[in-house]
Structure 1
Amino acid sequence: MTEVLFYHLSESTLEDALPGLLERSIGRGWRVVVQTGTDERRDALDQHLWTFRDDSFLAHGIDREPFCEDQPVLLTTGLENRNGAQIRFLVDGAAPPDLNVYERAVFLFDGHDTPQVEAARGHWTAAKEAGHAITYWQQTPDRRWERRA
């Protein structure tokens, strides 16, 4: 059974929230795959992860580059787990693959974007029906995560 977390972005953007979540995942010794809905979003996140903080960057690659299977964080639009990740982040309403191969799956969705909220609801239902352990997290006004369900 996979632990499935739903992170409701209400106070910050994906670009603000994702790097910290990726750093924590890497800190646990996990390989990570981030699945986006479009090539454009994947490429924008690729650029952002190199420059999101002046004193740091996240080592990562994208699925169209050689040796992507060696990356600790892999950005993709596909369903494969090419880098052997233990955790999969799904953003922008990306349709998930079989989540059973992961220890954890994280759906990040923009609470101000109706199609993303509707997609998250559908993914919640599917994950629940599949028997996964599900939790729902929402941002507080100070951008911390609070478990709501």
Structure 2
Amino acid sequence: MQVMFYELSRDPAHLVVPLLARRILEQSGRMLIVSADEQQRARISAALWQARPDSFLANGQMGEGHEDRQPILLADIPDPVNGARFLVIADGVWCEGEEPFERTFYLFDDETKAQARQVWRDLRGREGVKKEYWAQEDGRWTKKAEE
């Protein structure tokens, strides 16, 4: 399992998620985006539909039906009913599914930074877990640490 820590210092989650989603979908992957905040999920969904002028990233919300068909599913719990192997934690509140995801993108901001630091420590030494920490610098993502 790989956990990618992304510190949101400039762009909010709803602007970062479409960048991550595009890469996953280009590799024929499926993604689950988790946030307990219903309004945040709605902002992320809108951003995915409007990702670029020439394309969109199809997505659906848990509870709307046909969840298993969604390449990108937004939910409040980490239940990959769409077959997702990639998890995005958009609200900075760590969560794990019953089965580990291939890769987890853990987005956090100043309000959830202390929790992210604790999660980093908690994952230390956990068998099969690789961690990377990324931060924004001058508008670009830079890898700051790796374990």
| TM-score normalised to structure 2 length | 0.88
- Which of 128, 131, 136 is the equivalent residue of 2:133? 136
Alignment partner, residue 97 of structure 1:
96
1:112-135 per-residue CA deviation (whole Å, 9 max, x = no partner) reads x3x311121122222224331111
Name the structure 2 match of 1:122.
Answer: 118
Q: Residues 57 and 89 of structure 1: is their aligned pair in 2 closer, same or farther, counting only changes over 3 Å?
A: same
CA displacement, residues 13-58 of structure 1 (integer Å, 9 cap, x when unaligned) = 2222211111001112211001112222112222222124322211
CA contact (8 A) 1:33 1:75 kept: yes
Alignment RMSD (CA, Å): 1.7
Say whether residues 1:66 and 2:69 are aligned partners.
Answer: no
Q: How far apart, CA to CA, are the structure 2 residues paired with 1:124 and 1:93?
A: 13
Work out whether residues 4 and 127 of structure 1, in 8 Å CA contact, stay in contact via their aligned partners in 2: no
Deviation of 1:99 (Å): 7.2
Amino acid at match of 1:138: A
Q: 1:69-114 deviations in whole A, cap 9, x for unaligned?
A: 111111111121111111101011233124752111110112xx3x
How high is the TM-score relative to the length of structure 1? 0.87
8 Å Cα contact 2:18-2:47 kept in structure 1: no
Unaligned runs of 5+ in 1: none
In 1, Cα distance between the equivalents of 2:137 and 2:92?
22
Question: CA separation of 1:119/1:37 partners in 2, compared to 1, >3 Å: closer, same or farther?
Answer: farther
Q: Deviation above 4 Å: which 4+ runs of structure 1?
A: none
- C-alpha distance in 2 between matches for 1:123 and 1:31: 24
- List runs of 5+ in structure 2 lacking aligned partners: none
The equivalent of 2:54 in structure 1 is 55
Aligned residue in 2 for 1:45: 44
